[in-house]
Amino acid sequence: MKIGPYLIDERELSESFVRSSGPGGQNVNKVSTAVELRFDAARTTSLPADVIERLIHLAGRRATNEGVIVIFAETFSSQPRNREDARARLASLIERAAKRDKPRRATRPTLASKTRRLEAKSRRGDIKTLRRGSETDT
């Protein structure tokens, strides 16, 4: 499976088919259409270490403690479409993990922005002072 610049061996993916939940009549009770796709990200040799680390972090609850990413697809009522959906979702996750975030550079507020902030605070304080004076008159 080709994802961006990476080629993931099909043997690293494990699929199991289970019965889907939800509406669907008798078909739901007879046919295993939902797909559970497992990818052992922690032990893969197809991805660099930094991508693996970001991938497991991005996967969140879908990643086990051992670093296995589990994607459960049951959107469609056919097994092949759920299989494609699960693989597409894994590919999307890997593509997002492949992108490095730009490091944030610390910046300082400009003198003009500081002045505007202080003037706004002062105006707000004046408004509150004027209100306080009118309450004692009533």
Tens of pLDDT, residues 40-61? 988 888 889 999 999 999 999 9
Order of strands, sheet of 34-40, starting from the edge strand that comes earlier in the sequence: 13-18, 34-40, 68-73
* Closest by CA position to 47, among listed 11, 14, 6, 93: 6
pLDDT of residue 68: 92
Percent of the chain past pLDDT 70, that is, above it, reads 91
132 pLDDT band, cuts 50/70/90, is confident
Segment holding 17, helix H or strand E: strand 13-18
Domain 2-98: top CATH class: alpha beta
Say how many CA atoms lie within 13 Å of 97 toward its Cβ.
23
pTM: 0.69
Domains of the chain: which residue ranges? 2-98, 107-138
Separation in Å, CA 137 to CA 38, 124, 128: 73, 21, 15
